[in-house]
Amino acid sequence: MNKEDDYRRNAAETLELAGRARDFRDKGRLLSLAEKWLDLAERSLAARNRIVRIRLMHSLVREKIPDLGRDGP
């Protein structure tokens, strides 16, 4: 399980709590928190995808320019 799954699970649990809350203020706070968990999951996934693209780009650059990683002439 990755971070995004953990964050989504936290959001689902928070939504469940919001559904059981009797006080409207508590319900609103819990719904807001669930939304923040989902936002965090999206941001975490986007960051992971950026890292993958950067790594892929570097390997493609190394493939095209084989001497790039060597020391000296």
Report CA-CA distances (Å) from 2 to 9, 11, 54, 66.
11, 15, 20, 34
The secondary structure of residue 23, as a DSSP letter, is S
Per-residue pLDDT of the chain (73 residues; tens, 9 = 90+): 799 999 999 999 999 999 999 999 999 999 999 999 999 999 999 998 887 777 777 766 667 766 644 444 4
Q: Say what the pTM is.
A: 0.70
